[in-house]
Amino acid sequence: MLFLSRLSVSRGVNRSIPCRGLCAELRCQGVTPEVMAICPKLMESSDNGAMKTLRIATRKSPLALWQTEHVAALLKAQHPQLEIQLVPLSTRGDELLDRSLAAIGGKGLFLKELELAMLRDEADCAVHSLKDVPMELEPGFVMPAIIARGSHADAWVSNHFDSIAALPAGARVGTSSLRRRAQLQALRQDLRIDDLRGNVNSRLAKLDAGEYQAILLACAGLERLGFASRIRARLEAPEWLPAPAQGAIAVECREDAADVQALFAALDDANTRVCVSAERAMNRALDGSCHVPVAALAGLDGDMLHLQGLVGDAHTGVQVRAEARAPRQAAEALGQQVAAALLAQGAGDFIRA
């Protein structure tokens, strides 16, 4: 099926109109006479309806560009004739660096401009770090592919100290995450934990300038940008839990863009999708966001799914934990089960704080 994704309709926002060579149907859709006139030509040259060019919206940060180029390379391997164009965009989340994400509206700020570009027909899809994607997508959008997950672990990065325990009292640690702050507070309440925003390169530069004695980042981001050597220690489960879906890359597109969804079908990793579905279901049931220190990690042992969850207090380090197992087909229910167990232990007090 050919979609006229580059052509405008005469009302509202640009939309992809399915073209079946039925001009009467197109007229009912409100398509302009000019579009109707060239419709048969498009059908004749459509190469069985395959898309010729795909425009991928992305943030401009080095990590976002790496991830988008990675997805583009995987897609190109599946569709060698497809031309791929990157559409780099600046988001409010990237621009407002003087305040915490919780203070400026949350991680959804990283998606808004990219979604608007898709609605304006300036891009066909977008690539995101899945941990930055809100638990509920905006109406009219879907995630046709979740790429095989990278490292889920957090990275301890320091030029002088091998571990959290090695830091002197009062040492300054940088992180933009309430989740990391809560887990760090649980281990060391004598540390000074300050907000740290910006891309990976700028955060490392602040560490190297001596502004911090250590910083916390995601291992996946450091590895993707060639900074694996900066990882002094990996903070791993069960002692330390990551953000829900950390290390996973997601593709988002419009729900009516069936051609785009078909292109990405082969890139969807079933095991990664089932794990992050459980993690995100737990977070959704908790009404979690960047305003709440929530951590989750799911793993597969054969067809059994194991989910660990945590909710904490970023100021005191007090936290509650829960875990459970279920068949992989019950990922959503497992997430809800672990969320219920956390709430039964008082997680709601942290969420409402």
Q: Which residues have a catalytic role annotated?
A: 132
- Residues in the chain, overall count: 353
What gap in Å lies between CA 353 and CA 351, rounded to an integer?
6
